[in-house]
Each structure stands twice: as C-alpha cells, then as structure tokens.
C-alpha cells in the first residue's frame, strides 16, 4: 500500500482532532501497518479510498474509533510494575485510609481492566475488613472497556497473579479466568477521552489516587499539561498520582510534591 508522509500527516491530524492522541514522525511505520490492517478488513484498495470512506461513509465515527482502538493497544497484565503497586498498597493506601472513611481511585487509560482489578485486589487485601473503596476505570477504547466489564482473562494476563489470589478472586473456566463478584462490586468502567477536560472533571473531584501509567506519552506536551492540571483538581489534598516507570511528572508540572520511595516515584498533591 502506498502511504507517504503527506498521508501520514493527514491521518495524524484527523486522529488528533478526534482523540487528542498525537503520533510523532517516528510512528510512521506503526500507523502505516495499522491503516493497512483496516484497509484490508474493509476490502478497500488504497489509502485514498480509506480517507474517502472516513469522510463519506463513517458519519458516526465507528471506523475511526476502530483505528483509534488499534493505535492505543498497550500491553497490560495483572500486577504490572509491581514495585509501584507495592508502594501504593503498603505505604500510600494505609496512609490515606487513616484520614478517610472511603478510598476512591481513578485508573485513567485502563485498557482491558487488568490494572483496575489489580487495584481492587490490593484494596481488599490491605484495607481493614469492611472498609469502603471505589475504583473507576476510564478509557477511550470501547472494545477494551467491554472486555474489562466482562472480566474474563487468559493465562498471559494473570501470569503474575499469586496462586492464592487466583483461587480467591478468580473463577477458572474453560475460556479463561473470570473475575469474581467480590472484585467487581467496587469497580466501574466509563468511556473517557482524556483530551476533553470537562468530561474528565465530571468524573469527580474527590479522588485519593490517580493511576495514569504509560498513557500521557500518547499526547503532546500542551495536552499533557492540561490533563495533569485536571488531575490536580480531581485529587483531594495529599492524594497521589502514579505514572509509568519511565514517566516523570516533574517534566510537566511543579504543582505536585515528588515522593521517592526506594526507586519508585509517586506524586502527592500538597495540602492547602
């Protein structure tokens, strides 16, 4: 398939306007492969045909959403980046819980839900029995959200789940591992375009923790700042943000206090 830099730029701008995701020039081959897949699936013959399809036949944005879903695919599994989760569960979570009667967590860019259910396991294990918590998983990928709601995972997704937790929180089925209701009842999943500040803020301004791991890298710096500014208003004072292991909030804003615990970084909203 012929796909040149002008085609790349045209489609990149369309994707950015729709989703806020901005692909750098080094993503040229990545985008070409994803577009080629969609062109083959639709039975089209060229990129110009695909653009025409988006313009004339995709009035509800269904096809564009499918392309966005392909672009935002991110490797995810239970207990990913365990060092961060350990700091969350053993240090930050008890600290926040002592000051509140409920803990509320946002997983921004939750993909297929592994992170959300992991956080639910940690809350059930580390909080006092009967302590209330709520976890909101949000993502732009509607197909991923549907899988998250179904809560059915394969062996690869649960490879790092301790056997004790597999028995306690999952039901083994012929199709995989099904999350039990005890994890689901404190969890909900919602569609969210992070670029839309109003929709982001509408999720609430009473979060104790925000996880946004390996997501901000999809956005240009201006949008990262806007998203993080929204996170600031959504967090309670002395609430925490966790980013991906290679992401540093200090490169985006100085509004948060960085806490280094071992080799793990967490960012706290100052009090007052």
In a domain, 168, yes or no: yes
**Which residue range(s) make up the domain with 57?**
5-71
Provide Rg for the chain, Cα atoms: 20
Report d(CA 115, CA 213) in Å as an integer. Answer: 10
Instruction: Report pLDDT for 74.
Output: 67
* Contact yes or no for 185/106 (Cβ under 8 A): no
The residue from 48, 71, 94 where one domain ends is 71
pLDDT digits (tens, 9 = 90+) for 245-254: 888 888 899 9
Do 231 and 193 fall into the same domain?
Answer: yes
Do 54 and 95 fall into the same domain?
Answer: no
In a domain, 76, yes or no: no
Q: Which two tokens stand for residue 253?
A: 């804003």
The residue from 71, 98, 117 where one domain ends is 71
Q: How many CB atoms lie within 10 A of CB 166?
A: 14
Which residue has 């730029």 as its token pair? 9
Instruction: Report pLDDT for 160.
Output: 96
- Number of independent structural domains in the chain: 2
Do 153 and 244 fall into the same domain?
Answer: yes
Nearest to 74 by CA among 37, 121, 113, 36: 113
Q: Which two tokens stand for residue 94?
A: 């008890």
Instruction: Report pLDDT for 19.
Output: 87
DSSP string, the chain: ----HHHHHHHHHHHHHHH-----GGGHHHHHHHHHHHHHHHT--SHHHHHHHHHHT-TT-HHHHHHHHHHT-----TT-SHHHHHHIIIIIHHHHHTT-SEEEEEEET-TTSHHHHHHHHHHHHHSPTT-EEEEEEEES-HHHHHHHHHTEE-TTTTTTS-HHHHHHHEEEETTEEEEPHHHHTTEEEEE--TT-HHHHHTT-S-EEEEEETT-GGGS-HHHHHHHHHHHHHHEEEEEEEEE-TT--GGGT-SSSEEEEETTEEEEEPPP-
Do 49 and 135 fall into the same domain?
Answer: no
pTM of this structure? 0.88
Phi, psi of 215, deg, nearest 5: -120, -45
Do 228 and 141 fall into the same domain?
Answer: yes
Do 258 and 143 fall into the same domain?
Answer: yes
Instruction: Report pLDDT for 69.
Output: 83
Q: Which residues, given as ranges, of the chain have pLDDT below 50?
A: none
CATH of the domain at 18: 1.10.155
């Amino acid at each position: 398939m012929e796909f040149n830099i002008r085609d790349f730029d045209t489609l990149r701008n369309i994707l950015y306007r729709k989703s806020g995701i901005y692909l750098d020039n080094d993503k040229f081959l990545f985008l070409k492969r994803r577009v080629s897949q969609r062109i083959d699936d639709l039975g089209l013959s060229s990129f110009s045909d695909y653009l025409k399809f988006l313009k004339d036949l995709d009035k509800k944005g269904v096809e564009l959403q499918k392309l966005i879903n392909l672009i935002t695919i991110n490797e995810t599994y239970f207990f990913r980046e365990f060092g961060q989760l350990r700091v969350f569960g053993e240090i930050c979570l008890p600290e926040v819980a002592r000051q509140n009667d409920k803990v509320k967590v946002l997983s921004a860019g939750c993909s297929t839900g592994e992170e959300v259910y992991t956080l639910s396991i940690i809350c059930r294990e580390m909080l006092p029995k009967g302590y209330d918590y709520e976890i909101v998983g949000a993502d732009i990928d509607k197909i991923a959200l549907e899988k998250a709601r179904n809560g059915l995972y394969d062996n690869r997704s649960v490879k790092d789940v301790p056997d004790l937790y597999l028995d306690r929180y999952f039901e083994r089925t012929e199709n995989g591992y099904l999350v039990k209701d005890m994890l689901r009842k404190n969890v909900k999943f919602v569609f969210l375009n992070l670029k839309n500040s109003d929709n982001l803020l509408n999720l609430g301004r009473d979060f104790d923790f925000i996880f946004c791991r390996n997501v901000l890298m999809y956005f240009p710096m201006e949008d990262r700042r806007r998203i993080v500014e929204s996170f600031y208003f959504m967090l309670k004072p002395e609430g925490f943000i966790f980013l991906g292991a290679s992401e540093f909030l200090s490169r985006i804003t100085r509004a948060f206090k960085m806490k280094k615990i071992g080799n793990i970084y967490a960012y706290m909203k100052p009090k007052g």
